[in-house]
Amino acid sequence: MAMLAALAAGGWAWWWLHQPLKLPAASVDLSVEPGTTPRGVAQAVADTGVAVDPRLLYAWFRLSGQDRQIRAGSYEMDAGVTPRGLLEILVRGREATRSLVLVEGWNIRQVRAALAKAEMLKPETATLSDDALMARLGRPGQHPEGRFFPDTYTYSKNSTDLAVLQRAMRAMDRKLEAAWAARAPDLPLKSLEEALILASIVEKETGKASDRAEVAGVFVNRLRVGMPLQTDPTVIYGLGAAFDGNLRKRDLQADTPWNTYTRAGLPPTPIAMPGKASLLAAVQPARTRALYFVARGDGTSQFSETLDAHNRAVNKYQRGGQ
């Protein structure tokens, strides 16, 4: 009888461990704070509304021998999870994660808008000015534009937007330093900062990846001879929220610190987040004699060495001439 009872108990235990827990919803959040005991974890599971006896769940944790391996974190219990599967999630630290995509060419306004919309990301920076934001990131006095590397960032639920930005900032530091270390020897760029600014312009001016180095070569040539960069994206950036999508002649003539038609040299800050390819193009530009380029309308650009050739290209590709 004792043997039969033991077999029955063992069979029931095996069945229970593999039975899906009854959840109050299709997905239930579970937060395990640092220092929570295994008994406390079992109780926390029950407190979420899961129909389970916390004493039984705790007993399973103990009998498994893994009760002290449960990790703190934010987890999701999804429909179909069993007591056995739940312990595996907790021991392996399979936290519930979300991801945020920062896109190449975005400006800081777009970055902050994406942070505000990100799911399960605590908005620590939402009320901060750009200056206050950079101070919190340990870069007081630095402009935030272009300081964050465009990439996909995975984060645990209830992480902070500040933590994500810190990761993106460190990533940009690494990418920029690596690019600068591989720079061509005769660049007219004096610092990493100037390389970042030029890379941001290349990012906004390039419709075709294969044109990046050539576009960078044009701007480098202009810097060498003291010719204004005359690039529309810098003007648009200087207009800020006032830009309505239509760049007019008066906009090109309206002086701002970023207007490269009215001011020589590079603008004072980056104008967007450059990706790795644009960073490399800025420091390894194509060796070209071109001083001009114009969009062909298919994403590529026509490059010209002389103003006459450039005017003909503009007439052909922008004005429908021959």
Beta carbons of 291 and 304 less than 8 angstroms apart: yes
Interval 183-241: pLDDT, tens: 999 999 999 999 999 999 999 998 789 999 999 999 999 999 999 999 999 999 999 98
Residue range(s) of every CATH 3.30.1490.480 domain in the chain = 22-92
Beta carbons of 51 and 21 less than 8 angstroms apart: yes
**Residue 77: is its pLDDT beyond 70?**
yes
Nearest CA-CA partner of 28 in 84, 76, 93, 89? 76
Residue 319 pLDDT: 72
- Residue 57's CB is within 10 A of a number of other CB atoms, namely 23
Quote the pTM value. 0.81
Residue 10 pLDDT: 61
Beta carbons of 107 and 144 less than 8 angstroms apart: no
Beta carbons of 162 and 242 less than 8 angstroms apart: no
CATH superfamily of this structure's domain 22-92: Endolytic murein transglycosylase (3.30.1490.480)
Please give the Cα distance from 317 to 301 (Å, whole number): 10
**Residue 311: is its pLDDT beyond 60?**
yes
Beta carbons of 202 and 281 less than 8 angstroms apart: yes
Please give the Cα distance from 292 to 218 (Å, whole number): 6
Please state, in angstroms and as integers, the Cα–Cα distance from residue 320 to each residue in 203, 238, 291, following that order: 27, 30, 22
Instruction: Report the helix count and the strand count for the chain, using DSSP H and E.
Output: 13, 8
Q: Where are the alpha helices (DSSP H) in the chain?
A: 2-17, 38-47, 54-64, 83-92, 108-117, 130-136, 161-181, 192-205, 212-225, 232-239, 249-253, 276-283, 307-317
Residue 320 pLDDT: 65
Q: Give the CA dihedral 39, 41, 42, 45, nearest 10 degrees.
A: 160
Interval 93-133: pLDDT, tens: 888 888 999 999 999 999 999 999 998 899 999 999 999 99
Token representation of residue 219: 């701007």
Please give the Cα distance from 60 to 83 (Å, whole number): 8
